[in-house]
Amino acid sequence: MTDTTQRKVTANISLTLDGRYNGPGGPGDMGAIVSYATTDVARNHLTRIWEKATTVLLGRLNAEGFLGFWPTVAADENADPRDRGYAKWLVDTEKVVFSTTLTAAPWERTRIVNAPAAEVVAALKATGAGEILVNSSASVIKPLLSADLIDRLYLMICPEIAGGGQRLFDDGLPGSKWTLTEQETGELGEIALVYDRAR
């Protein structure tokens, strides 16, 4: 019998050199990040992120953005195969969307939860198999970092200083140690990093 309590919790996010996941213009200000999203390094990194994941966790804003965009990529035969692979996975996989405002999911294979992220992750770890991926949603990553429930971080570092915007690593997080398990540097200076939690 498989020990289903050992599901890894992974998280991916792109950050600027000053540690921000958006610019001073707010959540939609992705100028310092978006131009690096279609590089070979970024696309290879994207493939690594989803390959072992069977459940994806999203905040509502990311869910609306991702699920409004990626299904069209899944159907686009001219899209980069790595983008199509990710898009098909996102459409087909189990999705859990955190929201205090949505009451029903407008997307297939999706359930809406209004509960603390740590509680939801504990329940998911006790059932099923495969990795649980927090897909680029800082609103979910932050409380899971606080609860020390993330086993792997996939970070894409973009070589720009945003000078404002929201940071992933806020003051007050508990101290933790991480081991670098993979890194790849792109021609534009972007770096894909994979860190595993050292426990």
The predicted pLDDT at position 171 comes to: 94
Cα gap 8→159, rounded to integer Å: 29
Decide: pTM greater than 0.85: yes
Structural domains of the chain in order of their starting residue, each with its CATH number: 11-197 (3.40.430.10)
The predicted pLDDT at position 4 comes to: 42
The predicted pLDDT at position 5 comes to: 53
Residue 36 and residue 14 in contact, taking contact as beta carbons nearer than 8 Å: yes
Q: Could you give the dihedral angle defined by the CA atoms of residues 145, 86, 89 and 27, in that order, rounded to the nearest 10 degrees? A: 50
Low-confidence residues of the chain: pLDDT under 50: 1-4
The predicted pLDDT at position 17 comes to: 97
Cα gap 118→95, rounded to integer Å: 16
The predicted pLDDT at position 2 comes to: 43
